[in-house]
Structure 1
Amino acid sequence: MRILYLVHQFLPEFAGGTEKVTLNLAHAAQSEGHHVEVFTTSHRPGPPWREAAGLRTCLVQGVPVHALPHQDGRPLDDLGFRPIDGLRQSFERFLDSRPRFDVVHVMHALRLADAVELLRDRRAGYVVTLTDFHLICHRINLIRLDGSLCEGPAGGRNCQLHCWSPEIGEREFAGRIERLGSLLRGASAVVAVSPYVAERFAAEHPDLQIRVVGNGVDLLSFPRPKARTADGPLTFGYLGTVSEAKGAGLIARAFAQAARPDARLRIVGPCYEPELAARIAAEAGGAQISVEPAVPAADVPRLLQEFDVLCVPSQVPESYSLALHEGFAAGLPALVSDLGNAGRVVREHGCGAALPATDAAAWAEAIARLCDDRARLAAWRDKIPLPPRVEEEGFIYTQLYRAVVASRRTAAA
């Protein structure tokens, strides 16, 4: 099969969870002999990109990547309120310049709603994976302007009531929900990365058939979890993009409040928020906190072996949290925010603690408690679930692609 992955951003410019999952799926499909390519957007020209026919192209770990230069300064267009000038035409030229793809896998439609509309209008076979809440929430995270959790857009009425903006009218909120909902209804299959995500979308689109496929972890790359000693300082680890939304500021503040000489915090990942970086640096000056650059994906298993506890302090609901499941593969119990899928998984399995997302004092207390009670960590480790394997995820999607192709052939006969 010829498979195209459609994603809002990708390597070499971005390396977050969705990008990592997309690359994993592309490699899994390649290992089965399928031809794969990626279509995305690019924010930075220059090497390793090559410019040709209005697109930037490069090879990422053996996967051909084609990127449309992003038009800055159009946030409402990017979020799907309005079409983006020329995007549909550019994607159409790209499709027409290539041998026909058997299936397109839409991993994230931010900035690319026009491309998905083209697929729908062409009656192309495409699969949509709900990696977050973008298609029902213009803020992407189901968090209202006042910081409270939203139960859903209710056709745009809740957006107008709780997230009003002078740039967006009530009719535009409703129009966005209808526009992006039509992309879901036009898909050959819709997949959610967790039951939590499936439930949130089903509340808004009860007519959708949604199946759940969790993101896989390359378990073969993880060594056997190391034996933990009862003495020595505890290492708390944060892995991922260092941002306010992901809670990097909160965990640094909580750790400084805990002020435990028998513990240290390692924050590992890229930071694109200078003010946050400065605040964390200030916290680090009075506590055992280190801030480290992102590591290549191949080095993540080794890095996690150096942690005792994984911290996932997200300030918004996690749709899945690949970092949490990679931590499970490394044998790490977790402290997580009581939001979204991460909080649900930890509560259900009893492999850590789900803490109030915005309460730094509660996080500081939990850190101190673990330093004083190492036996609690051992009990949590015994309850860590085995995450799905990346091979399992790839196999499920390949079977789904085949079903889409077969169904279309039957319909055309």
Structure 2
Amino acid sequence: MRIVFVLHQFYPEFSGGTEHVALNLARSLQRAGHYVHVLACAMRPLPSKRRWRITREIDIIHEVYHGVPITWIARKHLPAMGDIAFDVAPATVNKLSIWMRAQRFDLMHLFHAMRMSSAVLAAQQCKLPYVATVTDFFFGCYRVNSINMQGNFCTGPQEGQVCERDCLTPPWTGSSLLNRYQQSQALLQAAGERVVPSEYVAQYFRNAFPAMSWRVIPHGIDFLNLLPASRKDDASCVEDKSRDFIVLGYLGSIIQPKGLHILLQALARTPSPRLRLRIVGGFYGDPVYKRDIVRMIEADPRVQWEGQVDPTLIASELKQMDLLCLPSLMPETFSLALHEAAVLQIPALVSDLGAQEHYVTQHQSGRVIARGDIFAWSQALQEIASDPQQISAWRANIRMPYRVEEEAFFYESLYRQFIKLS
């Protein structure tokens, strides 16, 4: 099969959860003998020497990342409101339609519609069937995280009425929020299948779009990449008596909703010399937030920031951690980092919301802490510093997550259904 993955951004420019999920699945499908091509929006300027040859009127270049071919379309060719709405650029739709036909794709797999609604409409013009995987709340929430302007969790847009009541801010009006909901609904209804990674997020979308069915397929983990970093003989393991410190770990994008500042402030209130913190992730967006985080890191010699790392190096970073810390301020739909850590038998401290709370509570593989509560996080860190054997008990409860090969098998079965129907 020839499959095009469509998403709002991709490696190496961005390295968030959606990008990681798409890369893992693309490589697994390649190993199964399929051709997978990524179409993504480039936020960076594109070099003119590698423009798309079909037309000189649009900036598109081709690259390869870890064996996966990518076609980048410049942000300037996509609607200005694309970051929050489902607007399309007609000229871009036509050019992408030509490209999709030329590539002879059998199916499109939509991973994120932000900025990429033009690609979805192009696929519809080509009569290209598509499957949609929902990795966050963007289809139901223009704020993406389903947290309203009062800081409370939102259970759904109710055809834009809840958005108008709780999140009405320029450029939105009541009618435009209703229109956004209707556009989102139409895009999802046209998908052959709508997939979510957890029952938690399925419940949200059943409430947001009650007339639609939702299939749960957990994101698969690339065991082949992680297992060489087995912790069995790792000298950094907590049970090793040769050292007297505990390595906490943060893995993910460094943006305000992910809550790294909560963890750093909690650690600052916990002066135990037994604790270390290793931060793996890159900064995106708000420069003020970056400045504040850098200052907190520099103020605590126990903290080490590794920056954004190549996905093939995630295993080596994880194996240096004893306890993963995910202090998110927004509900997560899955948490790839949590499940990758589980492969290496690393328990976690997580915030009390979203799919990660459900996972840790279900398996008793860590501790759930109140969202945004610096005192509660500090207290948890102090208790761990005083009794590190808690980590051993949590580790014993960890269950292995789905493999990416299992995820690919489920999707391959879906693909074949819709290719036959088309």
Structure-1 residue corresponding to 2:362 = 348
Kept in 2: contact 1:242–1:270 (CA 8 A): yes
Q: Displacement of 1:57 after TM fit?
A: 1.2
Kindly indicate whether residue 285 of structure 2 is the aligned counterpart of residue 281 of structure 1: no
Q: What are the Cα deviations for residues 241-281 of structure 1, in whole angstroms up to 9, with x where unaligned?
A: 11111111111111111121110111111113432232223
Change (3 A) 1:282 1:13: closer
CA distance in structure 2 between the partners assigned to 1:243 and 1:357 by the alignment: 15
What's the RMSD between the two structures over aligned residues?
Answer: 1.9
Q: How does 1:89-238 map to 2 (within 5 A)?
A: 89-98=94-103, 100-221=104-225, 222=227, 223-226=229-232, 227-229=237-239, 232-238=244-250
- Look up the SS of the partner of 1:292 in the other structure: strand
Q: Displacement of 1:370 after TM fit?
A: 0.7
Structure-2 residue corresponding to 1:403 = 417
Q: Displacement of 1:35 after TM fit?
A: 1.6
CA distance in structure 1 between the partners assigned to 2:272 and 2:287 by the alignment: 27
- Report the AA paired with residue 292 of structure 2: R
- Structure 2: which 5+ residue stretches go unaligned? none
Q: What are the Cα deviations for residues 210-265 of structure 1, in whole angstroms up to 9, with x where unaligned?
A: 11111111123323333532551111000111111111111111111112111011
What fraction of aligned residue pairs are identical, expressed as a percent?
A: 35
Kindly indicate whether residue 333 of structure 2 is the aligned counterpart of residue 327 of structure 1: no
Q: Displacement of 1:74 after TM fit?
A: 5.7
- Report the AA paired with residue 228 of structure 1: V
- Structure 1: which 5+ residue stretches go unaligned? 409-413
Kept in 1: contact 2:341–2:347 (CA 8 A): yes
- Report the AA paired with residue 278 of structure 2: R
Structure-1 residue corresponding to 2:70 = 65
Kindly indicate whether residue 314 of structure 2 is the aligned counterpart of residue 300 of structure 1: yes
Kindly indicate whether residue 11 of structure 2 is the aligned counterpart of residue 11 of structure 1: yes
- Look up the SS of the partner of 2:181 in the other structure: helix
Structure-2 residue corresponding to 1:29 = 29
CA distance in structure 2 between the partners assigned to 1:255 and 1:74 by the alignment: 42
Kept in 2: contact 1:9–1:42 (CA 8 A): yes
Change (3 A) 1:159 1:174: same
Q: Displacement of 1:308 after TM fit?
A: 0.8
Kept in 1: contact 2:197–2:333 (CA 8 A): yes
Change (3 A) 1:396 1:293: same
- The 4+ residue runs of structure 1 with deviation greater than 3 A are 46-49, 72-75, 120-123
Q: Displacement of 1:296 after TM fit?
A: 1.5
Change (3 A) 1:33 1:12: same
Kept in 2: contact 1:191–1:210 (CA 8 A): yes
Give the TM-score taking structure 1 as reference length: 0.94
CA distance in structure 1 between the partners assigned to 2:188 and 2:77 by the alignment: 26
Kept in 2: contact 1:240–1:269 (CA 8 A): yes
Q: Displacement of 1:119 after TM fit?
A: 2.6
CA distance in structure 1 between the partners assigned to 2:39 and 2:259 by the alignment: 30
Kept in 2: contact 1:240–1:270 (CA 8 A): yes
Kept in 2: contact 1:120–1:183 (CA 8 A): no
Q: Displacement of 1:395 after TM fit?
A: 1.3
Q: Displacement of 1:375 after TM fit?
A: 2.2
Change (3 A) 1:344 1:75: farther
Structure-2 residue corresponding to 1:87 = 92
